[in-house]
Chains A and B, each alone.
Chain A
Amino acid sequence: MPHEPLEKVVERLLDGDQHSRREFVQRLGAMGALASAGAFLAACGGVAGTEKKQSAKQAAAAANHPKTAIGTLVVSNWPLYIDKKTPKGWERKYDAKLDYTEDINDNDEFFAKVRQELESGRPIGRDLVVLTDYMAARWINAGYAEKMDKRNVPNAKNLLPSLQHPPFDRNRNYTLPWQSGMTGIGYDPQKAGRLESINDLFNPKFKGRVSFLNDWRDSGGLVMLGMGIDPAEATKADVQKAIDKLDKANKAGQIRRFTGNDYAKDLASGNLWACVAWSGDIVQLQADNPRLQFLIPKDGAMVWSDNMLIPQDAKQPYGAETWMNYYYEPAVAARLAAYVNYFSPVNGAREEMEKIDPKLASNPLIFPDEETQAQLHPQPSLSAADERELTAQFQTMTGA
């Protein structure tokens, strides 16, 4: 890319493996601040719970957000998740001001930060937040999310069909994806040969040369696919079967590490031959390591989204909807996808991308074809209690 944005250059310098937009920040956060403020504050004293009855507001039917003048729209998103032009374009179009903050580094951490307001029914001072599937599900179930007034978001029709009915928001009443990503296998064909299936990761030939992501939703989901279980419909027992399988492999020394996206450095330097990987990372790695491949295994791959969602009692629900609507214009989404390199949830962005960068437009990891999309499975959607138990089990299995 000839015109690399400054943030990316800085990120590259900071991070040897030059890919990890989100996890890099997350990792630094976790390491630098062991007692991260959010989690730490939450730990202080008896903390009230987050499972709340469905609020009366949520039960009410369709939302109605009349058009008003937008003052300042407050949006929270993940770092390095936007290009320079999109905010200005929106401001011009709606003659409003955008207060865009990159203050979400980790779903749980962000949740801990705003939990007290959410629980006591107060606004959290943001009109739009971007949360990964399971966290969006938690907010919707607890009544912390505001329904969209779909009349204000006509462009929502551009959402890719494969993302229209996630288990946590069957009709996309609350959420629209910002970016999506695939979790599959990243590998080096020169070392590992050609791979086909998730179960190849358990091949003893690769002992100590494979890694899994440190998250049961991604790693467990893939292992379940290899066992013939559909992760979207999986029960707790199914996930536990997958964790057991990983446990055996780990004890046998098959698994080198459980990683955040620091797997990328290991994969690029040849320490890893194959690993559970995110599509966006591999796209960025391929720029310098063209031999690396991202495999959508024949058993299927996982798909996840970071979703835009309006929190309860947002001051500018209409403003938030105009922002969603603006982003769902294919030209805007294409421009953003050219910068972010994850997969764009907006139909028509590929055609627009042809005009910006034809090479990216033909990249199946940014614009997967329909056949590929059919192979993608959403992450398991379980109760908060089950998820908590599985998180604890998975962490124990990894030795921490």
Chain B
Amino acid sequence: MSSAATAAPAAARGRLSLRRRRALLTYLLMGPGVAWLVLFFAIPIVNQLWVSLQTGNADTGFQQTYNWSVYPDSISQYTDQLFRSLGYAATATVLCLVISFPLAYFIAFKAGRWKNVMLLLIILPFFTSYIVRTVAWQTILADDGWLVHRLQDVGLVAHDGRLLATRTAVIAGITYNFLPFMALPLYVALEKIDRRLIEAATDLYASRVTAFRRVTLPLAMPGVFAGTLLTFIPALGDFINAQLLGSSQQYMIGNVIQSQYLVVRDYPVAAALSFVLMALILVGIAVYARLLGTQTLRESIA
């Protein structure tokens, strides 16, 4: 009797603690991720927001003065670089899309047993460092190089003109460096398409163009969306291409942030510009998601 009486609550306790253990397990599993985000995202963000509102200098120290005017001031001082970054990143993203789509389409539908080799070829440049790849373009685009001479022959580059240290070189560099970020998500989206849907479309008297436009393209939209974001966001903050392939007339906002942090050591301006960049990206994504429709956004995330 007494043993049964004690056993029941014990069993109840056991069930409870099991439930509790399960709840605990959820937190445990979430723990590393949350800790990571707090430690390396939330805290630095708050810290940099705090830094951006300080005034002073690196030699005599910075004091917190809640100087919100740093935002309008740095935006107006670096308007050129901000717009230039937007323009270069957008152009490069469109170019990436135009180049990647046929490429990804070919790999997904036509490459057959060469599929893996071709995917490997896309990723292969990543085996070397970003900087080395960009420096290699300095050699390809050199003033006395083969490419510039041929372009001069056909009149695409002026006789005393050049490619290096121009806008063209910077945009080309960004396009080249971020191409795989566009091509791979596109490939994944195209690969996932059920071929029977296209077959069905043609069975229903759709021409191949119509089938592509009404079936393939809409189903590839999640890939377009993901690829665009993966390309546009890092391209917007890039400074290596402008530094190595451009001149000071091509400097992007990333170059300014780098110089403000490491050379001028005006940390508030650098932090403020970083936030402006983040805001630009968020607004950009929102507008873009609006245009493409939120459903695509959800699918691409899933």
Q: Which A residues are within 8 Å of any B CB, using their own CB? A: 16, 28, 30-32, 34-36, 39-40, 42-51, 106, 108-109, 208, 214, 250, 253, 255-258, 262, 265-266, 269-271, 384-385, 388, 391-392, 395-396, 398-400
Contact = CB atoms under 8 A, between A and B. Distances in A.
Contacts of B168: none
A43 B259 contact: no
B143 A388 contact: no
Interface residues of B, number: 50
Contact of A108 (B164, B247, B262): B262
A49 B131 contact: no
Nearest to A17: B135
B59 A388 contact: yes
A31 B131 contact: yes
Interface stretch (B118-126, B176-184, B220-228, B249-257): B249-257
Contact of A31 (B47, B240, B251): B240
Contacts of A106: 262
Scoring A108, A258, A271 by chain B CB atoms within 10 A of each residue's CB, the highest score goes to A271
B79 interface: no
Interface on chain A toward B: helix, strand, loop, or mixed SS? mixed
Nearest to A27: B131
Contacts of B47: 44-45
Interface stretch (B2-10, B50-58, B190-198): B50-58
Interface string B54-67: 10111111111000
B89 interface: no
Contact of A384 (B59, B81, B243, B258): B59
B30 interface: no
Contact of B164 (A34, A42, A271, A398): A271
B276 interface: no
A42 B248 CA distance: 28
A-B complex: 8 closest residue pairs judged by Cβ atoms: A49-B60, A49-B61, A399-B248, A400-B259, A43-B267, A399-B251, A270-B144, A400-B255
Contacts of A271: 142-144, 162, 164-165
Given A46-B54, A46-B63, A271-B164, A34 B248 contact: no
Contacts of A47: 58, 61-62
Contacts of B63: 46
Interface string B63-79: 11000000000000100
